[in-house]
Chains A and B, each alone.
Chain A
Amino acid sequence: MKIYSIYISGVGGQGIIKTSVVIGEAAMNAGHEVVMSEIHGMAQRGGGVSTELKIGPAHSSIIAEGTADLLISFEPLEALRALPKINKNTHVIMNTAKILPFNIQGSDYPYPPLDDIVGEMKAKSKDVKVLDAVEIANQAGNVLSMNMVMLGVTLTVPGFPLDKERLIESMKANLPEKTIPINMNAFEEGFSKF
């Protein structure tokens, strides 16, 4: 199998690492090789967080510039920041709910308007799926299930190498039992959105 690379970006506290582990374990259980990179520490205090996953026979867990197959962005500004990792054929899933950097008031640049961000992403990728995952998560029962909304959308991406059963099985193995019904709702909402 060719290597399938997934770059996931967002802000600390959005459940990015958990989502990545769910995908990684699902890949392992499906019999694929898989490696993943995550950054802990300073980044957790409201800073940007990203993980990189490679499914297939890769040694390094870092994705070379312009080679990601899929970008999952949990936050619009962080989608822009991830642009060096993607190319025109990279599929993009993008949550539109903004998290303002704490220092945005004194920042050299304002937070760009959402329409401009979406336009910029669409100029750089042929397939951008845009959704307000926070709104959908709220409807599913808890804002914290936003990451599972995003996970559900991955299944609608052409070429995504994992199937629904594997992802659900891995999700159940990695989330607290009492949160499963809401997270399943969120996952299904994401899956049926596109």
Chain B
Amino acid sequence: MNLNDILTGKEDEKLFLLGNEAAVRGAIEAGVKVAATYPGTPSSEIGDVLHCLAKEAGIYFEFSINEKVAMEVAAAAAASGVRSFTFMKHVGLNVASDSLMSAVYTGVRGGMVILVADDPSMFSSQNEQDSRHYARLANLPLLEPSNPQEVKDFMLEAFQISETFEIPVLVRTTTRISHMRGIVQLGPVEKRPEKGFFQKDPKRFVPIPATARVMHQKLVQKIEKITGLVEKSFLNKQCHQDGNVGIIATSSAFNYCIDVIEEDELPLKVLKLGFSYPFPEKTVLNFLNSVERVIVVEEVDPIMEKEILAIIGKYGLNVEVNGKLDGFLPLIYEYTPDIVREAVYNVLGLKMENFLIQESNLPLPNRPPTLCPGCPHRAAYYAVKKAAKDLELSDVIHPTDIGCYTLGVESPYESADYLLSMGSSIGSSCGFSKATDQPVVSFIGDSTFFHAGIPPLINAVHNKNRFVLVILDNRTTAMTGGQPHPGLPIDGLGDLAPEISIEDLVKAIGVSYMKTINPLNIKKSVEIFQEALQDQGVAVVISKYPCVLIKKSQKRGISQLVVTDSCDGCGECLSTLACPALYQADDKIEIDPLLCRKCNVCVQTCPQGAIKGRRTDK
């Protein structure tokens, strides 16, 4: 498939799409005019695809500086009458939540959809919070698709609901939905006006206490009306009708249920909830009236389960509920077909066919992710460690942040001691520098610095902190796949854009020391870090070198790095750099030429001077 097919595909055509790609097609079919995001896995590919297609699709698309701004861009667009779309990972919604809470009060004129991608089991996240709570916290409708076709179709339905009731709508996926690929039958693309017009109405769009009180009342009334709709919605449906035990399920968990029922021909009734807030009380009540027992299958928190228990209590039903709260299903991590099958069999009192799960009898070394060969972060970590060691500093605290460099938590870098969220490296450095007498050297990436690092750096200077901040500027948002950010000369549509200088920003904040280094120059970098470590205020070192995934091999003219016979096999390079290209071979070290990016860091750090660049023969 060509990515362009997502845009040009005709009605009824079938494409094999990722859930995230299907979301883009949904936005295109719905006639979205404004879209904004900050990249975050598992939602990142939505932005990547829009980055390629938005211009041609007639959509304004931006990589906003953070999710809160993305939310505000989309809210203002929808207040102006055009359809807007914002999307982010679960923790991104925390950042955006301040404006979300108010956007639900003010409401919208054009449809506005917020897609949030949760990450049960934390494949690439710092927590596995369940974003469905936000639907309840903010009071906004919630849709939960189960596969790529539904992602696309639910997007269209979400815009419809949003526009009818003038309220933003939340679509929740999980990693398994966003990164599931399936056949998607395309629909027609709706033609809508290019531009909106903002009709002023301060009573509606400016929540101050007097107006907000009215807005809240109207919001509650809207939700009551939507409750009427949710009871009739085709997104909630009964799919199997056998027996007196029921399953109520949603999202990926529904898929596991339906597979076990169909594969094992089990007598169960199933209610699938695709539109799950406001909770469809009558639909669920009818279903409960037809069963003696119900299994609630949902991932992460027992949210529906508690709603169902409340309905049973309210109506005095005699239905037993099995789920997370009574231990039939786990309270944490994503489900699997095996977990769901076992729970269903346990509830039904059936015996599982015993088969032996095969496991390796050989011990399995693990294969954790790591910094790429040639990654400039490796060099920066090495230089910081060396500088601190040369100054005989001990107990140095390394607050870190969100990005590839968080992999610095691993040995031998051990450059990550404390992490909360995007931007927390700098805020927590303030706390550590006041609460302890330990030296503090914290790390933040360029994109993360723009996202949430600027206010805490101002805080640090104003409150007279002392620490070293290393801004690891690798000229991209690397961890999520290399999206642009405000420090780069390109925007979300792929057009040229003003570059915001990190140096100028940092200078303007008034730090006591600032230098920019090329981290691949180890000697110079160590010197600069030593100066910074001796500074008495907030010292910033900008470690600037492009990510190896966006830059070709370094050192033009050098064809490869080779380990000469002077290598005595001391292993210093392995134990300090842990570069994937370096490996132990018999009694000396070797370099894998396929992996080596010729960054030259090992050449500079080898105690024997045994690694050399071999020049290209011309």
A residues in contact (CB < 8 Å) with B: 3, 11-12, 20-21, 24-25, 28, 33-48, 57-66, 77-78, 80-81, 83-84, 86-87, 100-112, 116-117, 120, 123-124, 143, 173-174
On whether the beta carbons of B44 and A40 are closer than 8 Å, the reply is yes
In the complex, which residues of chain A have a beta carbon less than 8 angstroms from the beta carbon of B255?
Answer: 59-61
Which residues in B have some Cβ–Cβ distance to A below 8 Å? 1-2, 14, 16, 18, 41-42, 44-45, 123-124, 146-147, 175-176, 179-183, 252, 254-256, 258-259, 262-263, 336-338, 341, 355-372, 404, 407, 410-411, 479-481, 571, 574-575, 578-580, 583-584, 594
Assess whether A143 is in contact with B362, with CB atoms less than 8 Å apart: no
A47 touches B363 (CB 8 A): no
Whether A81 lies near B364 (C-beta < 8 A) is yes
Complex Cα spacing A80 to B183, Å: 31
Q: Assess the A41–B480 pair: CB atoms within 8 A.
A: yes
Are A80 and B369 in contact (CB-based, < 8 A)?
no
Selected contact of A36 from candidates B180, B360, B362, B481, CB within 8 Å: B180
The answer to whether A34 touches B123, judged by C-beta atoms less than 8 angstroms apart, is no
Neighbouring B residues of A33 by C-beta, 8 Å: 183
Tally of A-B residue pairs with Cβ under 8 A?
A: 175
- Knowing A40-B179, A43-B369, A106-B411, say if A60 contacts B259 (CB, 8 Å): yes
* Docked-complex contact B360 and A143, CB < 8 angstroms: no
Q: Which of A37, A40, A104 interacts with B365 by CB under 8 Å? A: A104
Given A59-B258, A83-B358, residue A41 in contact with residue B41 (CB < 8 A)? yes
Say whether chain B's binding surface is mostly helix, strand, loop, or mixed. loop
Q: Assess whether B368 is in contact with A47, with CB atoms less than 8 Å apart.
A: yes
Given contacts A45-B370, A116-B362, contact A61 B182 (CB under 8 A): yes
CB distance from B356 to the nearest CB of A (A): 8
> Which residues from A are CB-within-8-Å of B183?
28, 33-34
**Is the CB–CB distance between B363 and A109 below 8 Å?**
yes
B41–A40 CB distance below 8 A: yes
Task: For the complex, give the distance between the alpha carbons of A36 and B19 in Å.
Answer: 10
Q: In the complex, are the beta carbons of A77 and B179 less than 8 A apart?
A: no
B184 to chain A, nearest CB (A): 10
Interface residue from B176, B254, B571 paired with A37 (Cβ < 8 Å): B176
List 6 extra interface pairs beyond A46-B372, A60-B252, CB under 8 A: A20-B181, A24-B16, A25-B1, A46-B367, A59-B259, A64-B341
Residue picked from B181, B259, B356, B575, most chain A C-beta under 10 Å: B181
Q: Which residues of B contact A103 (CB under 8 A)?
A: 365-366, 368, 370, 410-411, 578
Asked if B584 and A105 make an inter-chain contact with CB atoms under 8 angstroms apart, the answer reads yes
Contact yes or no, A42 B369, CB < 8 A: yes
